[in-house]
């Protein structure tokens, strides 16, 4: 296999030091061309740092990089792009006020005579890329009008437009539906046949085994395993990632459920063009109950949570907490009544990237540390330290910007911020998106502990195994409606059938 996949880029004795943290420690890495080079490790293991070094976003403090046998130093992202390195970040780097085509070509616009932007040419190429990715997305559509999964498709198209020789994909499937994942894998197969070297980062281990040709495992900035993917299984990956057996999250013991703590009746959200995004949904959650809300992309799950949190003025429906009707129609009012939401897109909706970890954690509960016009920074910092420990967030300092954390640790900050408001109902939209085995297990253990303490939890997930393992009850949505209500232990086939009613009609006809 190695003869068919020559080494294109190497890193030798690579080290990267941040204030208080050594992210990479004498790393030796080989990137093979015409192959998928899988990079795996827990959050904070050094994957993102290694990826950013290859893409020119960061520079090594020690060690060397060679490209096609020649020493190179990438001064910045643009310099790396000139050498043929493209990257798709997990956290989307797009402009919501620009069109799809403008986002694809931002920074390398097609021009007429080097002066005027050739919008027709950009539109044509963007349309061809959307067709290649099997997406019905208008290149002239403002990006902000697209759901996060569609935005991720645009980010991938943006990298494909650069014709990179080396392409880095960081969690490219985290917001994609199963059908979109299959399209992406076909595109990756085409790129391999063209000789492109692909670095593929994902926490979905079955996905890595399926698509990878070579695997490199990082733990605490050190490479603990590097080999061909032939013969690799999940226990081998997990052992090298965490040095022990897999961290599972099944139920440890049965928790008795309390009375109904939350109920919604006839929640609906009209579409501007007619019909409903959320179509008269009613559900309830009991004290101590974890209710999983499963469905495919576009089913209306995220929009339902947003309606509950008063994020859509056009939404209708009635909410009850503890049997009392919720009359507040603002986000802050519903937070005060005991609702908290972990949003799907933590970067856009859950965090203020330029603010510190401390400030992000306490952002929704500043009133707890305020007397009159005075904010007690000491009390705020003490509470932030408490939640850093409670959520096992890996940090060097509370005062570092939250953007300095890995994706999984950023997600823990978002959850900690919500828990600091002392909610009675916790709404969680894809809480494990882009999170590794260890971080996922910690978050799910926290969810179980919160439920045991009487909190009601309603969480959205696209991961079937996750919803089956974690839920006390499973609700299924499709086309804006509830199409299934299953107890714990339900068969996977039944849940999938409820999530795809259109396929069932085709089969029966």
Instruction: Work out the burial of residue 385: count CB atoms within 10 Å of its CB; fewer than 13 is exposed, 13-18 middle, 19 or more buried.
Output: middle
pLDDT tens-digit series, residues 34-52: 999 999 887 678 888 899 9
pLDDT tens-digit series, residues 173-221: 876 777 778 888 888 888 898 898 999 998 777 788 889 999 999 988 8
Q: Which of the four pLDDT bands, split at 50, 70 and 90, describes residue 251?
A: low
Q: Which domains does the chain have, with CATH numbers?
A: 7-242 (3.40.50.300), 260-338+423-508 (3.40.50.300), 351-422 (no CATH)
Give residues with Cβ within 8 angstroms of 349, minimum separation 6: 343
Sheet bearing 166-170, strands edge to edge: 85-88, 166-170, 197-201, 36-40, 214-219, 222-228
Distance CA 91, CA 411 (A): 12
Beta-strand runs (E) in 55-155: 62-67, 70-72, 85-88, 111-112, 116-117
pLDDT tens-digit series, residues 166-176: 999 888 887 67
Q: What number is the average pLDDT over the span 144-166?
A: 84
Quote the pLDDT of residue 43.
65
pLDDT over 70 percentage in the chain: 93
Mean pLDDT (the chain, rounded): 86
Query: Is 3 or 449 the better-scoring residue by pLDDT?
Result: 449
Q: Which of the four pLDDT bands, split at 50, 70 and 90, describes residue 381?
A: very high
With contact defined as beta carbons under 8 Å apart, do 362 and 384 qualify? yes
Quote the pLDDT of residue 261.
94
Quote the pLDDT of residue 504.
45
pLDDT tens-digit series, residues 395-425: 888 999 998 887 778 888 998 999 899 899 9
Q: Which of the four pLDDT bands, split at 50, 70 and 90, describes residue 228?
A: very high
Beta-carbon count within 10 A of 314 CB: 11
Distance CA 412, CA 394 (A): 10
Which of 162-166, 390-394, 419-423 ranks highest by mean pLDDT? 419-423
Answer yes or no: is pLDDT of 509 > 70.
Answer: no
With contact defined as beta carbons under 8 Å apart, do 442 and 409 qualify? no
Quote the pLDDT of residue 502.
47
Q: What number is the average pLDDT over the span 277-292?
A: 94
Quote the pLDDT of residue 436.
67
């Amino acid at each position: 296999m190695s003869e068919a996949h020559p080494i294109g880029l190497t890193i030798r004795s690579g080290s990267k030091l941040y204030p208080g943290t050594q992210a990479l420690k004498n790393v030796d890495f080989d990137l093979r061309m015409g192959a998928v080079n899988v990079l795996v490790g827990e959050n904070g293991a050094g994957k993102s740092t290694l990826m950013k070094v290859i893409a020119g976003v960061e520079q090594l403090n020690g060690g060397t990089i060679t490209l096609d046998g020649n020493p190179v130093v990438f001064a910045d992202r643009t310099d790396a792009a000139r050498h043929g390195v493209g990257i798709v970040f997990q956290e989307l780097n797009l402009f919501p006020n620009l069109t799809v085509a403008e986002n694809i070509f931002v920074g390398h616009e097609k021009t007429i005579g080097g002066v005027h932007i050739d919008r027709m040419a950009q539109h044509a190429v963007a349309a061809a890329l959307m067709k290649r990715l099997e997406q019905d997305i208008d290149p002239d559509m403002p990006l902000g009008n697209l759901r996060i999964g569609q935005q991720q498709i645009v980010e991938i198209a943006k990298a494909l437009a650069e014709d990179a020789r080396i392409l880095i994909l960081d969690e490219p499937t985290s917001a994609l539906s199963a059908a979109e994942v299959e399209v992406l894998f076909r595109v990756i197969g085409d790129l391999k046949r063209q000789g492109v070297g692909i670095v593929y980062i994902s926490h979905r281990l079955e996905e890595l085994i399926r698509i990878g040709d070579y695997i490199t495992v990082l733990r605490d900035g050190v490479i603990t395993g590097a080999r061909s993917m032939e013969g690799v299984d999940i226990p081998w990956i997990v052992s090298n990632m965490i040095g022990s057996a897999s961290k599972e999250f099944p139920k440890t013991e049965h928790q008795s459920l309390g009375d109904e703590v939350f109920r919604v009746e006839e929640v609906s959200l009209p579409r501007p063009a007619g019909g409903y995004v959320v179509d008269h949904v009613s559900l309830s959650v009991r004290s101590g109950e974890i209710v999983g809300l499963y469905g495919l992309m576009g089913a209306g799950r995220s929009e339902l949570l947003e309606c509950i949190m008063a994020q859509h003025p056009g939404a209708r429906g009635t909410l009850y907490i503890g049997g009392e009707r919720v009359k507040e129609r603002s986000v802050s009012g519903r937070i005060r009544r005991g609702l908290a939401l972990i949003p799907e897109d933590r970067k856009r909706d859950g965090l203020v990237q330029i603010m510190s970890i401390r400030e992000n954690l306490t952002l929704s509960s500043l009133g707890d540390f305020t007397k009159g016009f005075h904010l007690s920074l000491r009390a705020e910092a003490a509470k932030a330290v408490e939640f850093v420990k409670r959520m096992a967030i890996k940090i060097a300092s509370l005062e570092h910007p939250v953007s300095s954390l890995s994706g999984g640790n950023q997600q823990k900050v978002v959850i900690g911020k919500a828990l600091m408001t002392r909610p009675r109902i916790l709404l969680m939209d894809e809480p494990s998106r882009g999170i590794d085995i260890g971080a996922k297990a910690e978050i799910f253990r926290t969810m179980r502990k919160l439920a045991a303490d009487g909190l009601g939890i309603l969480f959205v997930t696209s991961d079937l195994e996750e919803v089956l393992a974690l839920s006390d009850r499973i609700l299924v949505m499709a086309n804006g409606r509830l199409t299934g209500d299953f107890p714990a232990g339900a068969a996977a086939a039944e849940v999938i059938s409820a999530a795809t009613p259109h396929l069932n009609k085709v089969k029966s006809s």
